[in-house]
Amino acid sequence: MNKLFGHRGITHTLIFSIVIPLIIAVIAFYGLDGLSQSMMMYFSIGLFVGILSHLILDAMTKSGVPPTTRSVQRD
């Protein structure tokens, strides 16, 4: 994945942290039933929290993440 997107590419965006868990939740809601559905819903919530906390911690580094770094340098 690092070769495809880079370390702090699309996988380090707020959109990614929302879309991927949402896709998993929708698949779980419509594709599974009972205990499996509940487990996947909790998994998607945990995934969202994990990705979001990772983004927050990366934003605190010198390199930052795409929403907190400038893509174009100013003169």
Residue 72 included in any domain: no
pLDDT digits (tens, 9 = 90+) for 27-44: 888 877 777 888 888 888
Task: Report the pLDDT value the prediction gives residue 72, as an integer from 0 to 100.
Answer: 41
Q: Exposed, middle or buried by CB within 10 Å (0-12, 13-18, 19+), for 37?
A: middle
DSSP structural state of residue 8: T
Mean pLDDT to the nearest integer, 11-40: 82
Report the number of distinct structural domains present in the chain. 1
Range of the domain at 52: 23-61
Enter the DSSP assignment of 7.
T
Confidence of residue 3 (pLDDT cuts 50, 70, 90): low
| CA 65-54-13 angle, 5° bins | 40
Give the pLDDT of residue 74. 42
* 18 domain residue, yes or no: no
pLDDT class for 1, splitting at 50, 70, 90?
low
